[in-house]
Amino acid sequence: MAACRLLEQLADEDAVLALRENAAAVPEGGALLLVEQVEGADGIELDTEAALHHLRLKAAFGSGVRTEGDFERIAALAGLRVAARRDIGWDHRLWELAPAR
């Protein structure tokens, strides 16, 4: 199962719920693939456009561009663990999330 920019417009509590619901649909041995913009991805701090995007998300939804630690905390609260991650460019990261069980 895969999702792209699923969490950016969701506050943390709603992001946890969305991940939990998606994880419930993952078959045994499967994984949830998630692509999200991440603060500090590619080893680069937010540029001007990314910073403005962060402020818009923060003001409108209470979310903002999250850090790697934010994503790992949200995944753990949803009962998931990070099986793998890699930067894919333009401040985005691909996360492979698996059930923590």
Q: What is the pLDDT of residues 7-23, one digit of tens each?
A: 888 888 999 999 998 88
Per-residue confidence band for 1, with pLDDT thresholds at 50, 70 and 90: low
Beta-strand ranges (E) seen in 1-101 are: 2-4, 32-37, 80-89, 92-99
Phi-psi region of 94 (alpha: psi -120 to 50; beta: other; left: phi over 0): beta
Domains and CATH numbers, the chain: 2-99 (3.40.50.150)
Q: 60: which 2 tokens?
A: 């409108």
pLDDT above 70 covers a percentage of the chain that reads 84
Each residue's pLDDT tens digit, 39-64: 765 555 666 777 777 678 777 777 77
The answer to whether 93 and 86 are in contact (CB under 8 A) is yes
